[in-house]
Amino acid sequence: MSMLEEKIRKNRDLFEGAEPSEGHFNRFQSRLDSLHEVGPRQKSWHSTRLFRVAAVIVVLLGLSVTYYLIDPSVNSNLVSASTLPQEIQEARMYYDKLAEEKLQKINDCAASTSEASYIQKVVDNEISILDSNSVKLESELQNDNKNERLINALIRNYKTKSDLLDDILTRLCHI
């Protein structure tokens, strides 16, 4: 038996029968309240401003991640580049490079800035449609990479993009 247990057994009568004196609980509660006294907290202007700035940053990050996940033209190169056959990757790189060069020529041939902005809008709309079709075809090709019809359709889609830009370039620059 330990020393503590022995003392408790010897003084058992002292522990069991006595009630605390009158007002003991009130005095104990007032001491607790004085130890944990909470005064009115002053709000600092920089903590609320910091919270607002952090909230704006979180919202903007959330929107950008959502846009990145939804927009097929942004992630089309990343999603399918590693899983497509080598010939498709090479064709894609070739037609993308060709499209960039033609877009630059279109911008150079535009007579005025308003004409250039209108043409750029039309071209962007058409290219985004073709790119979304390419993304769909690439995702189907990932599931069935031996399908010759899908491979031909994908390459034809790349070529259509190039032909569209050629047509716009011919009409605009009268080449």
pLDDT reading at 150 higher than 70: yes
Which tokens sit at 130?
């073709």
Closest listed residue to residue 147, CA positions, set 60, 58, 98, 84? 84
Which region among 27-36, 50-59, 82-91 has the lowest average model confidence (pLDDT)?
82-91
How far apart are alpha carbons 83 and 59 in whole angstroms?
33
Model pTM score: 0.49
pLDDT reading at 130 higher than 80: yes
Cβ pair 102, 162 in contact under 8 A:
yes
Which tokens sit at 111?
């007579």
How far apart are alpha carbons 84 and 52 in whole angstroms?
44
pLDDT reading at 38 higher than 80: no
Q: What is the pLDDT of residues 110-126, one digit of tens each?
A: 666 666 677 777 777 88
Backbone phi, psi, residue 87, to 5°: -65, -35
- Which percentage of the chain shows pLDDT scores above 70? 80
**Which has more confidence, 82 or 163?**
163
Q: What is the pLDDT of residues 60-113, one digit of tens each?
A: 888 888 877 776 555 454 444 557 778 888 888 898 898 888 888 877 776 666
pLDDT reading at 135 higher than 80: yes
Backbone phi, psi, residue 85, to 5°: -60, 155
SS3 72: helix
**Sole residue written with tokens 């399908």:** 147
